[in-house]
Structure 1
Amino acid sequence: MSARPPLFTPFSLRGVTFPNRIVLAPMCQYQADDGAPNDWHVTHHGRYASSGIGGAIAEATGVTAEGRISPGCTGIYRDDHVAGWKRVTDLYRRQGIPSFLQIGHAGPKASTKRPWDGAGPLDDGSDEPPWQTVAPSAVPAREGWHTPRALDQSEMPGIAAAFAEGAKRALAAGFDGVEIHGAHGYLLHSFMSPWSNRRTDLYGGDLAGRMRLPIEVARAVRAAVPEGTPVLYRASCVDSAGGSLTLDDTVALAAELRAVGVDLMDCSGGGIPTGQRLAAQKPEPGFQVPYAERIRHETGLPTMAVGMITDPAHANAIVAEGRADLISMARQFLREPAWPYRAAQELGMEDPASILPKLYAFYLRIAA
């Protein structure tokens, strides 16, 4: 009997086991009803619950109404949001796949139009009214965007509490854990980056000040959930071109997050300053893997690699070489929901259909 490819070996965090290392990355759907997920979200996640993935992270979900990216984004700031998410988590639980909710606050990049309407800031001519955004400093995310209100120091405990309450609601909805969104120019990333954080109080200045709110949020979330619940953190490990957050900064953040009980860092990048879309930059496959590798090796914190990882052999090598513990994908799954099955075939896994639901596996075996 041949050994399983590393990509298809299990991985555990606090007793929650991923049957393999392939994770569905969070993808905003912009289809919610006043923050509540609906039939579309069930349809979206249903594609992947039967695909053979090892884990799933649901989209960036606001811990406050004003923390949503757009009016169509999901929320977890009211108790009536729980039922809609329960329909999603049931899909994954029936297949033995752990699911996580990405909880976040969009900060200076909130109050925006949906991507197909241009993704710019809402304005008085929009179908839905704009709202006041907040940030560490009154620095627009991009030239011509709305100017956020600088948060008062007295508001910081409320931000951490909103994340904690969101985490508790996520577990009530059946998620196995949460991922704190600290990437892509949203609120927590905007505190980390010197480009957007011009504060001179306890929450700005040197790295210790700039990472204070992300650590307070992580500590509050950790305290709000049971000991056996994994807490993940998605980070932009570096800023976009023109920004000033460095990988050294993020390695230091990862060490502090590990100390307060975060279990894994999801290693992304960019978002400050808001500029050219990633697709237009034509990055190399796996261009963010070095972030995951360095953080994993220097801090001991498990990591997840993301970004242009589409080839099964490449994904398998990343895990086999100890560069990251998990691999996540988004757009590749839109193109090819059955990617895990193809990967199992190409990597020579014995009985590749075994990663699928029993009915699918039965018919694929007899058709082989």
Structure 2
Amino acid sequence: MPDLFSPFTLKGVTLRNRIAMSPMTMYRSVDGRMGDFHVMLMGSRAAGGFGLVFPEQIAITPDGRTGTSCAGIWDDSQIEGLARVAAIIKDMGAVPAIQLGHTGRKGSEKKPWHGKTQLPPDHPDGWQVRAPSAIPYGGRYPYPVHALTVEEIRDLHRAYAQAAGRALAAGFEWLEMHFAHGYLGASFFSPLANQRTDEYGGSLENRLRFHREALDAVRAVWPERLPLTMRLGSDDFNEQGVQFDDAVRAIGMMKEHGLDLADLSLGMNTDEVTDLPFGEVAFMVERAHRVRREVGIPVGVSWNLGIPAVADRVIREERIDLVFLGRPALSNPHWPHWAARELGHWDPLSLLPEDWSWWLRNRPGPEGSLGWPPTATNGPPSRTT
């Protein structure tokens, strides 16, 4: 039986545990390039014991960013910074992962602490946003949307493939495509945003054509030995939008096009939602388990999984294969090590780099003062090796 700290192998890649740091936009890039901040952030989380570490969503084109301070991979000059990030993640014992994306009609934003509202196309830091149909998101995204032509869609698929080639050159070993959260892929999937009448709109199969062709373009570049995964907006929580049944069918189609793991998340194609269980612990787990069971593909989810006992339980029960942590990873760079101590793991220091763990094991003072060796207060080993 697996647990939170069991290795996980997908294709030719083995993670040391089932804990992934989710991509989170940090607004620290200049001209799409990553720098010292990103090396520090990702390296510290890898050193803290995470098995899989993502930087933020990486834009495949300049207009695919959330804002002008977000990271990109549309130019060869951006490879150097990404390579530094991938190298430190790997050096600290984790697998370097990259998430490719395009924000679609939710791009051209101010930073969240400046209001997270959309900038008009004529603003120096704004641009004309694009989507499957000329339908503004609404609310804080009020500006007109350019409906993509078929040739522009094909250009985007070429951009995905070129980005995958740069990701490979930078040393990443796990590639995820971001088709959730109201961004471009999510908007093609959802009838709320996609009202096209050509081969990219209408039926479920047509609305998923963008995804299938993007997967095919990336897989032609990305080696078969390395995982290719997708974060899918699996439910709009709106009667007119994507329903979870659609997502189950969608993952089945994507599996036929080389998808290795499904990262199930929310659609977020409208603010007009009902019954969204944001406050519930692990609310996406049962949905992901259905995909795992019916489609026969490994799955992972995020959303309210930061309680170690909950994260461990859903892995032990084989409901999901990976736990994705966002805010818990930001608030505690050593979350895996802390979780191991909380759960009575046989050797929580084994999750840290060898040099760090050596110093902690050999600290002068009362036995057990750092939670090692195990004592009656921190419990017996929870698993054997």
| Normalised-by-shorter TM-score class | over 0.9
Report the AA paired with residue 113 of structure 1: K
Query: Is the contact made by 2:121 and 2:128 (CA closer than 8 Å) also made in structure 1?
Result: no
Matched, 1:173 2:155: no
Report the AA paired with residue 264 of structure 2: C
The alpha-carbon deviation at position 96 of structure 1 amounts to 2.5
Choose which of 118, 129, 151 in structure 2 pairs with 1:121.
118
Choose which of 264, 267, 291 in structure 2 pairs with 1:267.
264
TM-score, normalised via structure 1 length? 0.94
2:297 paired residue number: 301
2:253 paired residue number: 256
1:78 paired residue number: 75
Whole-Å Cα distance in 2 between the matches of residues 258 and 181 of structure 1?
16
Whole-Å Cα distance in 2 between the matches of residues 274 and 350 of structure 1?
45
Choose which of 164, 176, 180 in structure 1 pairs with 2:161.
164
Whole-Å Cα distance in 1 between the matches of residues 153 and 291 of structure 2?
27
1:54 paired residue number: 51
2:7 paired residue number: 10
Tell me the percent identity.
Answer: 39
Q: Which has more radius of gyration?
A: 2
2:27 paired residue number: 30
Matched, 1:131 2:127: yes
Unaligned runs of 5+ in 1: none
2:193 paired residue number: 196
Whole-Å Cα distance in 1 between the matches of residues 63 and 328 of structure 2?
31
Query: Is the contact made by 1:242 and 1:273 (CA closer than 8 Å) also made in structure 2?
Result: no
2:106 paired residue number: 109
Choose which of 210, 219, 222 in structure 2 pairs with 1:222.
219
Report the AA paired with residue 286 of structure 2: P
2:312 paired residue number: 316
Report the AA paired with residue 81 of structure 2: G
Q: Which has the larger displacement, 137-146 or 239-248?
A: 239-248
Choose which of 80, 88, 97 in structure 2 pairs with 1:91.
88
2:351 paired residue number: 355
Query: Is the contact made by 1:185 and 1:274 (CA closer than 8 Å) also made in structure 2?
Result: no
Q: Which has the larger displacement, 21-30 or 148-157?
A: 148-157
Which 4+ residue blocks in structure 1 deviate beyond 6 angstroms? none
Whole-Å Cα distance in 2 between the matches of residues 328 and 284 of structure 1?
16
Whole-Å Cα distance in 1 between the matches of residues 61 and 291 of structure 2?
30
The DSSP-based 3-state class of the residue aligned with 2:195 is coil
TM-score, normalised via structure 2 length? 0.90
Indicate the RMSD between aligned Cα atoms, in angstroms.
Answer: 1.9
2:372 paired residue number: none
The alpha-carbon deviation at position 15 of structure 1 amounts to 1.2
The alpha-carbon deviation at position 243 of structure 1 amounts to 5.2
Query: Is the contact made by 1:22 and 1:328 (CA closer than 8 Å) also made in structure 2?
Result: yes
The alpha-carbon deviation at position 281 of structure 1 amounts to 6.9
The alpha-carbon deviation at position 361 of structure 1 amounts to 1.1
Deviations 1:314-347 (A, max 9, x none): 1011111111100010101122111111211122
- The number of residues matched between the two structures is 362
Report the AA paired with residue 101 of structure 1: I
Whole-Å Cα distance in 2 between the matches of residues 331 and 236 of structure 1?
19
Whole-Å Cα distance in 1 between the matches of residues 327 and 110 of structure 2?
21
Report the AA paired with residue 183 of structure 1: A
Q: 1:139 to 1:46 in 2, by over 3 A?
A: same
Deviations 1:243-293 (A, max 9, x none): 5101111111111111111111111113111469x9x97521101112211
The DSSP-based 3-state class of the residue aligned with 2:56 is strand
Query: Is the contact made by 2:59 and 2:71 (CA closer than 8 Å) also made in structure 1?
Result: yes
The alpha-carbon deviation at position 110 of structure 1 amounts to 1.1
Query: Is the contact made by 1:8 and 1:21 (CA closer than 8 Å) also made in structure 2?
Result: yes
Query: Is the contact made by 2:233 and 2:266 (CA closer than 8 Å) also made in structure 1?
Result: yes
Deviations 1:51-70 (A, max 9, x none): 01111122111101111111
The DSSP-based 3-state class of the residue aligned with 2:4 is helix
Query: Is the contact made by 1:23 and 1:326 (CA closer than 8 Å) also made in structure 2?
Result: yes
Unaligned runs of 5+ in 2: 369-385
Q: Which has the larger displacement, 236-245 or 32-41?
A: 236-245
1:40 paired residue number: 37
